[in-house]
Amino acid sequence: MGQHRSIQKGTWAVVLLLLSLCTAGQPVPDAARPNIIVILADDAGYADFGFMGSQDMLTPSLDQLAKGGVLFNQHYVSASVCSPSRAGLLTGRYQQRFGHECNLEPEQPTAFDTAQVTLAEALRQQGYRTGIVGKWHLGDFPHQHPLRNGFDEFWGFIAGGRSYFPSKTEDQPGDLRAILHNYETVTFDGYLTDVLGEQAVRYIDDSKGQPFFLYLAFNAPHTPMEAKPEVLNMFQGKTQRPVYAAMMYSMDKAIGNVLAKLKKDGLLENTLIFFTSDNGGAHNNGSSPAPWKGWKGNEFEGGIRTPLIVSWPGHVNAGKTYTGIASSLDIFPTALQAAGTAGNRYPTDGKDLLPYLKSGNYTLHVHDELYWRKDGMAAARVGEYKVLRLQDGQAVLYNLQNDQGEQQDISKGEVKRFNALSGKLQDWEKLLQRPAWKEPEDWNKVTRMIYEDLMNNRPVRAKEPKDLKKKKNETAAQ
């Protein structure tokens, strides 16, 4: 009897064990664990997309994505240049909090602060497979490598830019522009933007059976301006900027291939997709800053305001425009919340967008206050007002509600408001670390000149350091 009982007990133990194994192996319901894809363009102009009304850019895949999701037209990135914007996006924190204020030159040992939790790290903790395809630009020391910062797989390059075609000089082991697959230098054939799309599709294929995070960081349409000849032909004579248009079209096509892959595998419904550009259009790639003032490198609207598409069929409405203020810092907590974890477990400056997307009131500001600073040049957006301030205290105040072009400085007429915003900006700066590195002095000088000229509504004297030299030579020749 006793023996019988213990056999019974043993049987139950096995059954319970099997049951518990079954439960442990059972995936969390699909809806709670969507795949997450963040797609980043590099230096694209705010309105240079079909879905933003462009007449000469062809972006049918992104237009489709926007149609199936929500378009934020008052979305800001956290920096006006590549590296700090990516540091903010991937951590969900104002990157100046950890010294990542300036753009990144090679060989900066204090670049990306690896103590920060990246979105990849946080999602990996939730059981996600994590991959980056494309441009890193967060540091080139071994500890700053994507695989040391939360990514399971890396196919791309470490530098801030590179040729779109295989290059004898760039595709060399040890060159920061060379393509790496994880730690190994690899070669590629054809046009890089196409290949990034192919690698993204391959990564999705390899991720079968596991929720995945894909950070697809294109270098298009950043310089060098290089298009595929057959795509360039499509745009010759049809636009003033055929190379840029061709590069945008190729990026859109690569994104289209990723979307087609998701559709084919039945994953589109269960994938949360974000698309934006890391900063506004640059002065040297054919992008247009319209309808804004400023461009990449400064904190007028043209440098920091980029369209954001959020797509998650069944969870996020289709074909809507969100006009309230949002930030690229919101991607981190939104993705984590969607992945079934509380986004606020991490010290983020962003906010979960999902409640705002479900609210039905798409005019609500997700942020009443947003702040920027690069190399001492800073800005604050508080409600409809925006202050921009240089190191020496020169500052302007705009009311964006009736002056979206930032033309009328009202700081003298609205002294109280000007002082309040300036005070808020200073309070925010108290939270920040000193920049862990600075930008080259000639760039700092040119950027300050650009601010002064734009603040005074006059033509800019220089857009990059080489313009200063040109000017000097012209003056000497006169």
For 157, the token pair is 């390059």
- Interface residue with Ca ion among 36, 65, 79, 82 (CB under 5 A) is 82
Helices (H), 265-391: 301-304, 331-338, 354-359
Q: How far apart are CB 279 and Ca ion at their closest, in Å?
A: 5
Q: Which of 376, 435, 375, 437 is nearest to 108 (CA)?
A: 437
Which range binds Ca ion by CB under 5 A, 52-60, 130-138, 274-282, 358-366?
A: 274-282
Instruction: Check residue 340 and give left, alpha or beta (phi > 0: left; psi -120 to 50: alpha).
Output: left
Q: How, if at all, do strands 271-277 and 369-374 pair? A: unpaired
- Interface residue with Ca ion among 34, 38, 42, 215 (CB under 5 A) is 42
- Interface residue with Ca ion among 33, 34, 40, 43 (CB under 5 A) is 43
Q: How far apart are CB 179 and Ca ion at their closest, in Å?
A: 19
Catalytic residue among 82, 102, 145, 367: 82
**CA 360, CA 294: separation in Å to the nearest integer?**
32
| DSSP one-letter string for 394-446 | -EEEEETTT-TT-----TTT-HHHHHHHHHHHHHHHTTSPPPSS---HHHHHH
Q: How far apart are CB 278 and Ca ion at their closest, in Å?
A: 4
Q: Which of 440, 376, 378, 448 is nearest to 105 (CA)?
A: 440
Give the footprint of Ca ion on residues 363-392 (CB under 5 A): none
Judged by CB under 5 A, does residue 279 bind Ca ion? Answer: yes
- Within 8 A by CB and 6+ apart from 385, the residues are 397, 398, 399, 400, 417, 421
Q: Which of 347, 366, 346 is nearest to 356 (CA)?
A: 366
Binding mask 234-273 for Ca ion (x = CB under 5 A): ----------------------------------------
- Identify which of residues 114 and 287 has a Cβ nearer to Ca ion in the complex: 287
- Identify which of residues 199 and 219 has a Cβ nearer to Ca ion in the complex: 219
Which range binds Ca ion by CB under 5 A, 76-84, 114-122, 130-138, 392-400?
A: 76-84
Catalytic residue among 75, 100, 102, 137: 137
Is residue 137 among the annotated active site residues?
yes
Judged by CB under 5 A, does residue 278 bind Ca ion? Answer: yes
Burial per residue of 351-383, b for 16 or more beta-carbon CB atoms within 10 angstroms, e otherwise: bbbbebbeeeebeebbbeebbbbbbbbbbbbbe
Which range binds Ca ion by CB under 5 A, 233-241, 275-283, 395-403, 456-464?
A: 275-283
Helix axes 82-91, 331-338, angle to 10 degrees: 30
Binding mask 403-432 for Ca ion (x = CB under 5 A): ------------------------------
Give the footprint of Ca ion on residues 101-120 (CB under 5 A): none
Q: How far apart are CB 159 and Ca ion at their closest, in Å?
A: 12
Q: Are 45 and 289 in contact (CB under 8 A)?
A: yes
- Identify which of residues 96 and 277 has a Cβ nearer to Ca ion in the complex: 277
Q: Are 63 and 306 in contact (CB under 8 A)?
A: no
Is residue 367 among the annotated active site residues?
no
Binding mask 206-235 for Ca ion (x = CB under 5 A): ------------------------------
Q: How far apart are CB 79 and Ca ion at their closest, in Å?
A: 9
Q: How far apart are CB 259 and Ca ion at their closest, in Å?
A: 23
- Within 8 A by CB and 6+ apart from 284, the residues are 223, 463, 464
Q: How far apart are CB 283 and Ca ion at their closest, in Å?
A: 12
Q: Are 317 and 327 in contact (CB under 8 A)?
A: no
- Identify which of residues 82 and 248 has a Cβ nearer to Ca ion in the complex: 82
**Catalytic site positions:** 82, 137
Residues that bind Ca ion (CB under 5 A): 42-43, 82, 278-279
